Amino acid sequence: MISETDLQVEVENEMAADTVVSEDIENTAVTPPLPPPDLNEPSLYINRELSHLEFNRRVLHQCSAPHPLLEQVKFLAIFSSNMDEFFMVRVSGLKQQVLLGITKSPADGLTPREQLVAIHRTVTQLFAEANACWAEQLYPQLAAAGLHILKYEELKRRQKQRLRDYFEREIFPILTPLAFDPSHPFPHISNLSLNLAVMTRDPDTNETHFARIKVPAILPRLVPLKPLDPDELLPPMVQKFVWVEQVIADNLDRLFPGMEIVAANPFRVTRNTDMEIQEEEADDLLLTMEENLRQRHFGSVVRLELDENASEQMRRFLAANLKIGAFDVYTADAPLGLSSLWELHRLERPDLKDAQFQPRLLTALRADTNIFNVLRRQSLLLHHPYDSFAMVVDLLETAANDPDVLAIKQTLYRVGTNPPIVRALMHARENGKQVTVLVELKARFDEESNIEWARQLENTGVHVVYGLIGLKTHCKITLIVRRERDGIHRYVHLASGNYNTITARIYTDIGFMAHHEEFGADATELFNYLTGYSKQNTYRKFLVAPVNLRQSMLELIERETAHGRQGRIIIKANSLVDPQTIRALYRASQAGVQIDLIIRGICCLRPGLPGISDNIRVISIVGRFLEHSRIYYFHNQGDPTMYIGSADLMPRNIDRRVEILFPIEQEGMRQHILINILDIYLRDTAKAYLLQGDGAYIPRATLVEDGEPLFNSQEWLLKNHALLNAD
């Protein structure tokens, strides 16, 4: 039996246990919920510069992807050119911030100095991969295909003699060795020029001297080797070359007679080319831009590329005189400046290149050659390069010759060389049309070309303007005003890409032609904003940066957020950087909205983060064509909104550029873009890369099960686009 005392103890113990349990329940009940994650937390953002480098890594990856051989070579040239631009603009900008003591960091929290350290680590790895790609893969494969790039030590004596004759005839007369001694200052090394750093010794005094020889850019980088004997017949596909700097290095005795050549090392410098333009103080923006372009060649050095066989003495000597640290010196055991490999891509070897294709002409324009009659009946959607850019040129040429056309207004950002669009505009002015053209002089690395075309347009009487102070005009728009029987009518062409016939063959872009009263009215008011003193802040249909685009984009995302799990967003753009937009997308994902982002280049959003971006997927497509179109789709519970245009989701585009997004209002056209463009890209497993939460990209092909065929969106569009009925 249990004694009364024992019972009392047991009851007291049970009561104590109940108290503990009740306290636990009470404590559990009052435990506050976890606070929502802070969407400003730096760990939620990928650094812009490192994301940019990851894009260049994807470009480099194409050198090993299944492309024809010369296309692989092309991608190595593009990678090299991209890295040049990255140093000229992005690295130089960070270095300036460090020098000025700026410590403000972007959304990811890295200071300028920390970014430079991370960039150096990544770039060193990328350059090593690029050099290995050339030496171990492309170089031997080119030889196997009959394209031999010989090293000088591999040449026969008679070949060297022939090259010496070529040197005497074609190279020697234009070379200018520049000495460095007390009577000769260290020579200026121009941006991206290829040079030889030559160390000589005077046999009489045993003194060493430095000289620099610039390899003239007018010379071919790859010197062709002809057969030794006229009767020697090489197989038709066999061609032999040698690097021009090696030809010069082997003949230095002609430049320094009587001197001993101690060393001759190729080197190359990259300078800061990001120009600061004080527009408010400029009396003439055209003249100011020309002066800035001249100064660009004298920007501070941000990178030295040097042959890895150069001695430590040579490395220190060049670094000291170029005023850079060891951190800025990159050595290579491959030829410097591999962007020169474009010379190989220009060879007539169709067997080693992508097959040619014929862009489509829209059915409506084949049936009626008067484009204005067609546009009165229907709007036209163009998807370049699958649709021919010739239709845009024809629109301008038709307008130039049409006696009923009264005026043409157009923006030009990058027009390239010998542009038919510019010729059509000049022809229109000669035919008495009122022609107004906004030429963006600040289009980076196209400034000189744009200045030249601006002068030519002015010389023919075209009214040329240069945009707004403090803003780049990046929108792509043409307005044509025409008198017809029932009054004045306005026609527009709007696009995501430039009025450039060259890029239209290699960039994917969307264009839209229409006879649309509200679009025409918005276009008229936009040009008044660009050319006059208009403070227009509302538009009927257009989203215009920096006026209403940011707020409208955020409202569209927030509308889908309110729909929760029924929400759907698809965005195709070049870059996603803007922190405010990223936070809005994070909130939409938290609400259950399904979001697909097709971002070719820089993406600072981290997908797949638990509780933050679980519902966001990001892919990047890098293939034969440069993905350049911008498409914004919001499902809106079956009443969708879709915009096309020139704007990426970056602070510079939204706040410091004039951009346009325009709506696609026809249901059939929206469905075509959704099903035959966006969905096709989302299916890609051959050229798509999947962004991970840590900022790395995984080729989607590696996730496909063995035996399952890969889907290439660009190839599909090449094969099927002519069958699609978008017009």
**181 phi/psi in degrees, rounded to 5:** -160, 180
Residue from 383, 474, 635, 672 carrying the catalytic annotation: 474
Separation in Å, CA 316 to CA 128, 319, 623: 21, 5, 41
Left if phi > 0, otherwise alpha if psi is -120 to 50, otherwise beta: which for 467?
left
Q: Distance between CA atoms of 121 and 449, rounded to whole angstroms?
A: 36
Can you tell me which residue has the tokens 């107004």? 436
Separation in Å, CA 183 to CA 178, 179, 260, 319, 688: 11, 9, 21, 21, 58
- What single letter denotes the amino acid at residue 604? C
CA 127 to chain CA centroid, Å, is: 19
Told to judge if 474 belongs to the known catalytic residues of this protein, a careful annotator would answer yes
Q: Distance between CA atoms of 433 and 449, rounded to whole angstroms?
A: 24
Q: Distance between CA atoms of 428 and 302, rounded to whole angstroms?
A: 46
Q: Distance between CA atoms of 409 and 480, rounded to whole angstroms?
A: 7
In degrees, rounded to 5, the angle at the alpha carbon of residue 586 between the alpha carbons of residues 637 and 575 is 95
Q: Distance between CA atoms of 293 and 193, rounded to whole angstroms?
A: 16
Label residues 620-633 b or e (16+ Cβ within 10 Å = b).
Answer: bbbbbbbbbbbbbb
CA atoms within 13 A on the CB side of 544: 22
| 628, 507 Cβ separation under 8 angstroms | yes
Two tokens, residue 682 = 């989302």
Left if phi > 0, otherwise alpha if psi is -120 to 50, otherwise beta: which for 486?
alpha
Q: Distance between CA atoms of 115 and 109, rounded to whole angstroms?
A: 10
| 271, 88 Cβ separation under 8 angstroms | yes
| 192, 268 Cβ separation under 8 angstroms | yes
Q: Distance between CA atoms of 428 and 397, rounded to whole angstroms?
A: 8
- In SS3 terms, 500-520 reads as CCCHHHCEEEEEEEEECHHHH
R_g over Cα of the chain: 31
Separation in Å, CA 171 to CA 132, 164, 166, 342: 31, 10, 7, 21
Among candidate residues 354, 348, 352, 341, the one with its CA nearest the CA of residue 70: 352
Among candidate residues 62, 46, 49, the one with its CA nearest the CA of residue 622: 62
Q: Distance between CA atoms of 50 and 580, rounded to whole angstroms?
A: 20
CA atoms within 13 A on the CB side of 723: 6
Name the residues annotated as catalytic.
474
